[in-house]
A and B are shown apart, each in its own frame.
Chain A
Amino acid sequence: MRKVLRAAIVVCVLAVPMFAHHGTNISYDRSKAMTVKGVVTEFHYANPHPQLYVDVKDDQGKVTNWGCEIAANVYQLSLAGWSRQRSTTELKAGTPVTITIAPSRAGTPAALLMKVVNDKGQELLSAGAE
Chain B
Amino acid sequence: MRQRLTISIFLLAGLVLLPLMSFGQQRGAGFGGRGRGAAPPPSNQPFDPKDFNGIWWRTGGTREWNTQKGEEPAFTAEGKKAFDANKPGYGPRAVPPAQGNDPLGDCNPDGLPRNLMFNRPVEFIQSPNRLLQLFQYHGARREVWMDGRKLPDNPDLPRWYGYSVGRWEGNTLVVETSGLEPRQWLDNLGNPYSDQARLTERYTRIDHDHIEMIVTLTDSKFYTKPFVSQKKTWQLLTNPEQYSAQPGWNSLMEELCAPIDEVFEFNKRIRNTAGGVK
Q: How far is the CA of A33 from the CA of B252 in the complex (A)?
A: 36
Chain A contact residues: over half helix, strand or loop, or mixed? mixed
Contact between chains at B262 and A46 (CB < 8 Å): yes
Q: Jot down 8 A-B pairs with beta carbons below 8 A, ordered by A.
A: A1-B2, A19-B20, A23-B97, A24-B28, A26-B28, A49-B266, A75-B255, A110-B270
Number of A-B contacts (CB under 8 A): 149
A34 in the interface, Cβ–Cβ < 8 Å? no
Given contacts A5-B241, A19-B23, contact A26 B94 (CB under 8 A): yes
Q: Kindly state whether residue B123 has any CB partner on chain A within 8 Å.
A: no
Q: Which one, A8-16, A54-62, A92-100, A114-122, is touching chain B?
A: A8-16
Q: How large is the interface on A (under 10, 10 to 19, 20 to 34, 35 or more residues)?
A: 35 or more
Q: B9 to A4, Cβ gap below 8 A? A: yes
B17 and A78 contacting across the interface, CB-CB below 8 Å? no
Binary interface profile of B, 1-31, with partner A (CB < 8 Å = 1, else 0)? Answer: 0100110011011001100110110011111
Query: What is A's interface to B at a CB cutoff of 8 Å?
Result: 1-2, 4-6, 8-9, 11-12, 15-16, 18-28, 44, 46-49, 51, 53, 67-69, 73-75, 78-79, 83, 104-111
The 3 closest A-B pairs by CB, nearest first: A23-B89, A22-B89, A106-B276
Q: Are the CB atoms of A23 and B90 closer together than 8 Å?
A: yes
Bound Cα distance from A12 to B14, whole angstroms: 8
